[in-house]
Structure 1
Amino acid sequence: MITEPELEGGWDDDRPAAPAREDGADAEVRRPRAPWLWALGGALVASAVWAALPVLQDRSFGAPRIAYRHSEDLCKETRLDTLLKTTAPAMSNHRAHRESPALDWSHCEYFTEWQEKGTSYQMQIMVELHKKTDPEAEFGVTPGVFGEVRSNSGEVEQVAGLGERALMTSRSPYTSGPRLQVLDGGAVFTLAVGWLGDTDEAGGEGPQPDEDAVKAAMIEDMRILMARLRR
């Protein structure tokens, strides 16, 4: 007849001896993490994934997201009121647009009145909707439909609060004025301002505008246009 000690001994022969518990502190160290901590960690990870999902979808799966509508008459959508108040009244405008399976674009160009001994301005605004290819890789690098609008020169700085990414290029010896570009999903917005000062009798260049004020007006008019075109 197998006694109780023999039964216990038979089961314990192949098992390692359990470590002795010296005090309550060791038990506390070995205690499994509270379930709510695991739940909280999982919730934080899930929240981060869901927050990043729209951007991942925009950049990784299929056609880029387009949150803006195409306009056949961009001059109607924006009169660049802030810019014109900062510079000079508009004398005329010119518009153009095109639609295709891969790209829809619309363009508007304003010219201000020429003033003797003053400064004349040219303003170009363009909206491109890329329906098949993500424009992120070429944003701010290659020329778009109008190469003169996207020429690369001058100091470039980031602009906060416009789309996913916005760049402001300052005037340089090779450009006639600043340029603002905004990327948001498959949409690219470009606003360029150029000016020419009338030469005075002494042969010097005419009055020049406050470039910082022009840039601030460009940002404001771009913000208004993007809000107007948003679906």
Structure 2
Amino acid sequence: MISEPELEGGWGTDLPSTAAEEPDTPSEGVRGPRRAWSWALGGAAVASAVWAGVLTAQDRFGEPAPRIAYRHAEDLCKIKLTAVSASTVQLTGESARHEEHPALDWAFCAHGAPYVEGRLSYGAEVLVQLHKKADPRTEFGAGPTGLGGIGGMASSGGDVEQVPGLGERALLTRRVGGSRLEVLDGGAVFSLTVQWYGRSDAADPDEAAVQAAMVEDMRALMAALRK
């Protein structure tokens, strides 16, 4: 479980595009995003089955419907990760899934890039959940967010900080080899995960620049889906 972090600052409304520090060198991973993310559709299908049971239980409670100011996207891959691509490599939406339910609608997209010998490989996941009956506030920040748990950052842990000025509440989790940004806004929960893999002698990414780009793309995603 991830407890609520202390507000550390450093995430103003004008976010820097560069940073002085570089992360620790990640260990050698899989060869590229197309292999690393090939399980995404199957994982989403399994997680969908789990959600069916959870949502049935939620339907039994008469909680007030949370405010939802966003529309459901059937193809979330149509929304590009422009800023993250500029800070890493050009990422392309490769696989999309979505599902509509009386209690919850969700949309998912896995992004990847062709493998290049001797360079780090990057991948990203985007998940949008619209909770139409149960209020997600009590669960937000308690661990992997819904289907976002099918990614490589499914386990809890890492350094977590709050990001001000983004939705009602936003959390950034940093771990070696990747970062995850989660945003709560009414009944909507957004998740963006970016990871990198490759040889230990490959150039490390500017982690702070990647995280700033994630915030920028998250703002663009929320704006694109706002009703």
User: TM-score, normalized by length of structure 1?
Assistant: 0.67
1:167 paired with 2:171, answer: yes
- In structure 2, the residue matched to 1:185 is 186
2: CA distance between counterparts of 1:228 and 1:219?
A: 14
Q: Unmatched 5+ residue regions in structure 2?
A: 1-61
- In structure 2, the residue matched to 1:157 is 161
- In structure 1, the residue matched to 2:195 is 194
1:112 paired with 2:151, answer: no
1:210 to 181, 206, 210: 206
Alpha carbons of 1:102 and 1:71: their partners in 2 closer, same or farther (altered >3 Å)?
same
1: CA distance between counterparts of 2:159 and 2:212?
A: 16
- Provide Cα deviations, 1:91-118, integer angstroms capped at 9, x if missing partner: 5511000010111000011111211111
Whether the aligned pair in 1 keeps the contact of 2:170 and 2:182 (CA below 8 Å) is yes
1:99 paired with 2:61, answer: no
1:224 paired with 2:226, answer: no
2: CA distance between counterparts of 1:61 and 1:105?
A: 20
- Provide Cα deviations, 1:1-43, integer angstroms capped at 9, x if missing partner: xxxxxxxxxxxxxxxxxxxxxxxxxxxxxxxxxxxxxxxxxxx
- In structure 2, the residue matched to 1:21 is none
RMSD: 1.7
Whether the aligned pair in 2 keeps the contact of 1:117 and 1:207 (CA below 8 Å) is no
Number of aligned residues: 163
Q: How much has 1:205 moved relative to structure 2?
A: 3.8
Q: What is the SS of the residue equivalent to 1:127?
A: strand
Alpha carbons of 1:92 and 1:230: their partners in 2 closer, same or farther (altered >3 Å)?
closer
Q: How much has 1:148 moved relative to structure 2?
A: 3.4
Deviating beyond 3 angstroms after TM superposition, the runs of 4 or more aligned structure 1 residues are 148-151
1: CA distance between counterparts of 2:167 and 2:91?
A: 28
| Paired residue type of 1:154 | G
How high is the sequence identity, in percent, across the aligned residues? 53
1:67 to 66, 69, 78: 69
User: TM-score, normalized by length of structure 2?
Assistant: 0.68
Q: What is the SS of the residue equivalent to 1:225?
A: helix
Q: How much has 1:142 moved relative to structure 2?
A: 3.4
Whether the aligned pair in 2 keeps the contact of 1:91 and 1:113 (CA below 8 Å) is no
2: CA distance between counterparts of 1:224 and 1:129?
A: 17
Q: What is the SS of the residue equivalent to 2:109?
A: strand
2: CA distance between counterparts of 1:91 and 1:69?
A: 22
Whether the aligned pair in 1 keeps the contact of 2:128 and 2:189 (CA below 8 Å) is yes
Whether the aligned pair in 1 keeps the contact of 2:131 and 2:187 (CA below 8 Å) is yes
Which structure is larger by alpha-carbon Rg, 1 or 2? 1
1: CA distance between counterparts of 2:93 and 2:216?
A: 22
- Provide Cα deviations, 1:142-186, integer angstroms capped at 9, x if missing partner: 3312413453221001101110000000123xxx30000000000
1:80 paired with 2:85, answer: no
Alpha carbons of 1:81 and 1:188: their partners in 2 closer, same or farther (altered >3 Å)?
same
1: CA distance between counterparts of 2:116 and 2:187?
A: 40
- In structure 2, the residue matched to 1:121 is 122
